[in-house]
A and B are shown apart, each in its own frame.
Chain A
Amino acid sequence: MRFLELASRNLKETYRDPLALGFLLGFPLLFMLLFGAIFSGDSIPNYSIGVIDGDGTPLSHSFIDEVLTEVPTLEVANYDDTATARKDLKFGDLRAYIVIPQGFGEQVSQNWEGKETNITLDITYDESDIMTSEQIISIINTVTRSFARIEIPVTINANPIHIETEITFIDFMGPGIIVFGLLILIPTSARIMVSDKEKGFLSRLLTTPARPLDFISGYSLCLVVIAIIQIVIFIAASWGFGMDIVGSLWLAFLIFLLTGLCSIGIGMVVASLSKNENQAEPLCWLFAMPLAMLSGCWFSIEMLPSYLRIIAYAFPYAHTIESARAVLIRGVGLEAISSDFLFLIGWAVVIFAIGIILFRRSMRS
């Protein structure tokens, strides 16, 4: 099998090059270490909570805007429905969410008029995170009582849900940094292919009976092996840094592998379009860096304006991070992430097809 010979040659060229290897593996690990160090320090607790205003009266508005928002330890986000809030709670973006039931304004104004009425709030939180939940409940209780000017405790319909793990920083960052590592595969793939073209090695091999598909499979196989090694090391490192793995490791691995294939495909396209390494490298970084930022490698994609989110979702990486987080942290199965999964498969197939067509064409010239 000619392509196996080519793949083994390509692998030797890579693993015997300490610089390339260090770049592929060391760079993302360095990020992991840095982020870990920066964000693991003690800081004042700051709880993100979601609020769903089911009452919709001026009183409920002012309760949210003038009371809850003013509490220094709370970061309040408004939600329209419980489903979204619940999703963010599962993701770890929220610590709890409050539903202000219909009649809340009525209850408060009755209290203001001197008729003692019980006030009800629904709070949903992660039961495994007892410390935080209790703090939040007690904060909400206090501010609501002072707002309604009542002495009796507010009835809080506590609605604990089970979220399997406590979501820590590394749980959130792990998948992002793994994807960052896979983005680095773009310049690496392009470099391996372009340097053979530039140095005439490809020409030399083109005087042998090796077929264009032998070359393409030779490169792809080598890069897939690199991607697998990367993924294994990164998952192991994230785990070592404290990432809890709840869901199926195999499913997460498959998601990352598909992402790796997309990166290799992009690398192949860039390699076909560039004449030498000096052209290919910057072109790749032009892809990889903005994509890392847009896809949510370093911060939540929710922070992006909507038009940037559209761009981010056009590429595979944001889908990878979201579905990998869902699988690794929340333990969801394939059915829950099937749309992301299919998107990744589709992307990998299409970019590989384009890569193969372009690379074959570039070999002929």
Chain B
Amino acid sequence: MSLHKVEPAEASDDFAIQTFNLTKIFNRLVAVDGIELNIKKGELFALLGPNGAGKTTAINMLCCLLKPTGGTATVMGYDINRQPFKIKELIGVSPQETVISERLNCWENLSLIGKIHGVNARELKIRSQQLLETIGLTGRAKDQVRKFSGGMKRRLNVMMALIHNPEVLFLDEPTLGLDPQARRAIWEYIVRLKGEKTILLTTHYMDEADFLADRIGIMDEGKIVTLGTSTELKTSMLEKHTMIIYAWNLTQKVINEMRSRYAEVEVTNGTMIITDKQLDFKEIVDRLHSSGAVIRSAYIKEPTLDDVFLHITGKELRE
């Protein structure tokens, strides 16, 4: 039974997905640890985190594959515990593993899911054509998919979640193992869906979350450790700035001078890295210049989501 029962009245109309202390425990392993999420209709939300963070478990509960151990969630206002079949009619799911029927061709795979959702034959044909064009498989539409490359299968895998034009889309690592070109194609398609559909995407690629998501929730060990837009997350890192200068003729005198002014100064082989809460780019460049150093390049390093992740969890995002 859910620990936190939510009456539909509590669920707001503005939100497509809401979780309330959503928890999943396998044996003694806490896979999802009481997450609270409010995803607005039309929003593209990315759950970013390393493998094993609990992203897939969270998605599996939201698409009614797994019963939560505690808490609950609503999808388009329906409770995952009590109205799973209402939810299943509204969602499209692209699982993390490539799950397609190997001896069926593209058409047949797409139409299987479409027909289960009750899409009529005419619409099915039009939509299949569109989707196959998007992923560049029109020419291979009638080949059994077992003959396809991993990337082709992967693209079909994502499109099978879209054939019935669902309102909410769950994309579990949609570009896992794809080459950059194929990733781009999928990204572009996802971007086209932005605003139109609510999308919950999991990924362990920062650039993917950065490029696609309206908001990002960083997940680690079953918890959402931080949440915000990509810019918000990065600016939260701006309590410390790092400046990197490549220069010739760095004298000990100027190095000492910098060390007296800034918190951290590292010098190796003509590279100076200065880190502090406040950095004045122009002043540093001027001082170095007047000391006789020849500056080849200098820049303030922008924080990446990787830095954010490292900062928050103390771990690298990629294992």
Q: Report Cα–Cα, A233/B118, bound state, in Å.
A: 36
Residues of B within 8 A of A211 (CB): 85
1/0 contact trace for A196-220 toward B, CB 8 Å?
Answer: 0001110111111111001000000
> For the complex, is A2 an interface residue (Cβ under 8 Å from B)?
yes
Q: Are A2 and B115 in contact (CB under 8 A)?
A: yes
- Give CA–CA (A203, B100) in the complex, Å: 11
Is A17 interfacial (CB 8 A cutoff)? Answer: yes
- A209 surroundings in chain B (CB, below 8 A): 85, 88-89, 116-118
Interface residues of B in 81-129 (CB under 8 A from A): 85, 88-89, 91, 93, 95, 97, 99-104, 108, 112-113, 115-118
- Closest CB in chain B relative to A202 CB, distance in Å: 9
Q: Count of chain B residues with Cβ under 8 Å from any Cβ of A?
A: 26
Chain B residues, CB < 8 A from A208: 88, 113, 116-117
**Contact residues of A between 1 and 25, Cβ < 8 Å to B:** 2, 5-6, 9, 12-13, 16-17
Question: Which residues of chain B are within 8 angstroms of A214 by Cβ–Cβ distance?
Answer: 116
Kindly identify which residue among B93, B103, B104, B112 contacts A207, using a CB–CB cutoff of 8 Å. B93
Q: How many residues of A contact B (CB 8 A)?
A: 21
Name A206's closest neighbour in chain B (CB-CB): B65
- Alpha-carbon gap, A203 to B101, bound state (A): 13
Task: Give the distance in Å from the alpha carbon of A9 to the alpha carbon of B102 in the complex.
Answer: 10
- Do B88 and A9 have beta carbons less than 8 Å apart? no
**Which of chain B's residues 120-148 have a Cβ closer than 8 Å to chain A?**
144
| A2 and B63 alpha carbons, distance in the complex (Å) | 19
Q: In terms of DSSP, what is the predominant structure of the interface of chain A?
A: helix
The reply to whether B89 and A203 form a contact with Cβ atoms under 8 Å apart is no
Q: Are B102 and A203 in contact (CB under 8 A)?
A: no
Q: Among the listed B64, B88, B101, B118, which residue makes an inter-chain contact with A13, where contact means beta carbons less than 8 Å apart?
A: B101
Most buried by B among A2, A17, A204, A205: A204
Q: How far is the CB of B183 from chain A (nearest CB, A)?
A: 22
* B108 / chain A contacts, CB cutoff of 8 Å: 9, 12
Tell me, in angstroms, the Cα distance from A194 to B16 when the chains sit together. 34
Given A9-B108, A207-B63, A209-B89, 4 new contacts (CB under 8 A)? A200-B97, A204-B93, A207-B93, A208-B113
> What are the 8 A-B residue pairs with the smallest beta carbon separation, nearest first?
A16-B103, A207-B93, A200-B99, A204-B99, A5-B115, A207-B63, A208-B116, A209-B88
User: Distance in Å from the Cβ of B123 to the closest Cβ of chain A?
Assistant: 16
CA distance A204 to B144 in the complex (A): 19
What B residues does A200 contact at CB under 8 A? 95, 97, 99
Given contacts A2-B116, A209-B89, contact A203 B95 (CB under 8 A): yes
Assuming the A-B contacts A207-B63, A207-B64, are A12 and B116 also in contact, with contact meaning beta carbons closer than 8 angstroms in the complex? no
Partner of B116, one of A16, A17, A199, A205: A205
